[in-house]
Amino acid sequence: MALKADVQKILNAQLDKEFDASVVYHGMAIYFEKELLPGMAAWFKKQVDEERGHAGKIIEYMMDRGADPVIPATKAPKMSYANPLAALKGAVAHERANTAGIYACLEAAQKAGDPATVEMLQWFVKEQVEEEKWADEYAAMIEKVQSSIGALYAVDHRIGKAASAD
Ligand SMILES: [Fe+2]
Ligand SMILES: [Fe+2]
């Protein structure tokens, strides 16, 4: 059964969000590397690939359904932030927007009576729980230590370990 037009449209809108997140995180990775915070740089480099992977999953699914995925033009990301917390707050906002996008896709798929798309989106529903979790946690950790460079380095080290853990 062909993918309905409104489901196709909203999946393409989600592709836009996933590519945008990838590019924004690439800007953050460069920012953190320049700030001499290699742990956070490594974490965000990993997110660049993860977000591309999310886009890839949606593209493959659309191809399987004979639909037309559209790779979007991405906006140039910010390359610097006022401080590490501002970058992490940006990540929190991006993950929340991506979750809202997934929920909108799910609602459209349910309305269209499209169980295959509903099923495909379940992976993203779970993934977004994890994505919001790290973003919220890292923002909270950085908020606590931002006035102490020593503590900030300790948090950076911990985030770097998490980046290489899985
Ligand atoms: Fe994503
Ligand atoms: Fe994400």
Tell me the CATH number at 116: 1.20.1260.10
Cα(43)–Cα(166) distance, integer angstroms: 11
Helix or strand run (H / E) with residue 1: none
Q: How many domains does the structure of the chain reveal?
A: 1
CA of 143 to the centre of ligand 1 (A): 24
Q: What are the structure tokens assigned to 3, written together?
A: 């993918």
CA of 147 to the centre of ligand 1 (A): 31
Structural domain span for residue 155: 5-165
End-to-end CA distance of the chain: 37
- Ligand closest in space to the Cα of 132: 2
CA of 134 to the centre of ligand 2 (A): 10
Cα(71)–Cα(104) distance, integer angstroms: 19
- Ligand closest in space to the Cα of 18: 1
Question: Residue 166 above 70 pLDDT?
Answer: no
CA of 36 to the centre of ligand 1 (A): 26
CA of 50 to the centre of ligand 1 (A): 7
- Identity of residue 114: D
pLDDT of residue 84: 97
Cα(95)–Cα(80) distance, integer angstroms: 19
The pTM for the full model equals 0.95
Q: Find out whether 67 and 11 touch, Cβ atoms under 8 Å.
A: yes
Q: What are the structure tokens assigned to 82, written together?
A: 């006022």
Residues near ion ligand 1 (CB < 5 Å) are 18, 51, 54, 98
Q: Find out whether 17 and 101 touch, Cβ atoms under 8 Å.
A: yes
Q: What is the DSSP letter of 70?
A: -
| Distance set, CA 30 to CA 37, 41, 49, 130 (Å) | 10, 7, 14, 23
pLDDT of residue 1: 78
Question: Residue 149 above 70 pLDDT?
Answer: yes
Q: Per residue in 62-92, pLDDT tens?
A: 999 999 999 999 999 999 999 999 999 999 9
